[in-house]
A = this chain, B = another copy of it.
């Protein structure tokens, strides 16, 4: 196991840049996991581990749990705790950081009776992380994201998703309407809107289906709503203008899956 002690080391600098630059993550198809638990979940999810950084403290405290990560990583480096601060997004880094290969887009559209959520232009990493976690918990078949959603590999999404990132199949698409038109040939699509739609409780989610949820502030684009076979709305008795996008998605997925 080699050791890095300088913050000017090129691998440390590269990892720090991966954490801060969505562009670099996209170009290099790499991202970073922080902490033992998420890193193990990545490994168990079949993600390729390129580099493992670990502190002596973590090694002595979690030696047994770290074993499979150490064995699987192409390169392992011991680094001092102070260097952890350079490559971690969290304030209290836990002493375990991995550089991972991005997952391939991996939804299998071949089977019947699949249930998908399609996210258009979701901008808040906490929302995306929470939606992934909910999709995982409820057993949604896959998450479809337009390219202009916030980066699924950002540190905030990875944390919020609590490992769901490595378990829920997902793909990116350039454009929702054309994807939905293709999907309509074999399944039913539902646009989540805030008014002028049939109530969610009346929707028939049998067979393969997809619910499309739009941007936090603006909702779905008109062309995306038009492309969907049906519109659904969450009936609200109260005063709020709308539900938080993650909560709305949670209720929609719950109704689709139950």
Contact = CB atoms under 8 A, between A and B. Distances in A.
A168 B239 CA distance: 9
Copies assembled: 2
A207 interface: no
B134 A239 contact: no
Nearest to A249: B247
Interface in A114-142: 126, 130, 133-140
Contact of A140 (B234, B235, B238): B238
Nearest to A131: B247
Contact of A254 (B239, B246, B254): B254
A238 B135 contact: yes
A226 interface: no
Contact of A167 (B135, B239, B242): B239
A40 interface: no
Contacts of A247: 130, 133-134, 246-247, 250
A16 interface: no
B136 A240 contact: yes
A256 to B, nearest CB: 11
A70 interface: no
A107 to B, nearest CB: 15
A45 to B, nearest CB: 10
B137 A201 contact: no
6 contacts: A137-B236, A137-B242, A163-B240, A167-B238, A168-B238, A250-B250
Interface of A: 126, 130, 133-140, 162-164, 167-168, 201, 234-244, 246-247, 250-251, 254, 257-258
